[in-house]
Amino acid sequence: MTAKPVKVKITYCAECGYEPQTLDLAKALMYEFGGRLSGIELIPWDSGTFDVTVDGELVHSMRREGGFPESEAVKQAVRSRLSASGTVT
């Protein structure tokens, strides 16, 4: 069974210079999941934001958790989502 590809959105504070962390995370997800992602959307924002959602579920929020996410934690959230919809990762 093929899973529905997963959409990841990263909302980052452009005023805060969070581009390197954003690109590092996007790159890690691209290499890990390739075509199993329907897309990675990068959203420049403000106010110290660094939010990551996987298919609409907030898996990391700088305001909530503090700091940047470990890429492995985000990868795990993507794997869980893919598994839930039927793919073997």
Partner 1 sequence: MALGLEEGGWCTCSVKMSTLGRFEMKLPHERWDKGLTYDAYKAGMTRNRERVEENERRVTLDPETVRAFRALPQRLNVLVLAEDWCGDVIANLPVLGRLAREAGTLDIRIFYRDQNDDLIEHWLNQGKYKSIPVVVFFDQQLNEIAHWIERPASVTELRARKRREIYASRPEFGSPDAPVDQLPEDVRAALQAELAKMRDETTPFANAEVQRELRELVTGAKV
Binding site for partner 1 (CB under 8 A): 9, 11, 15-17, 19, 41, 43, 45-46, 49, 51, 53, 56, 58, 61, 63
Kindly tell me which of 2 and 56 has the beta carbon lying closer to partner 1. 56
- Closest to partner 1 by CB, 19 vs 72, is 19
- The bridge status of strand 6-13 relative to strand 50-54 is antiparallel
Contact 54, 8 (CB under 8 A): yes
DSSP state of 67: S
Strand 6-13 relative to strand 37-45: parallel, antiparallel, unpaired? parallel
Compare residues 23 and 43 and give the one whose CB is closer to partner 1.
Answer: 43
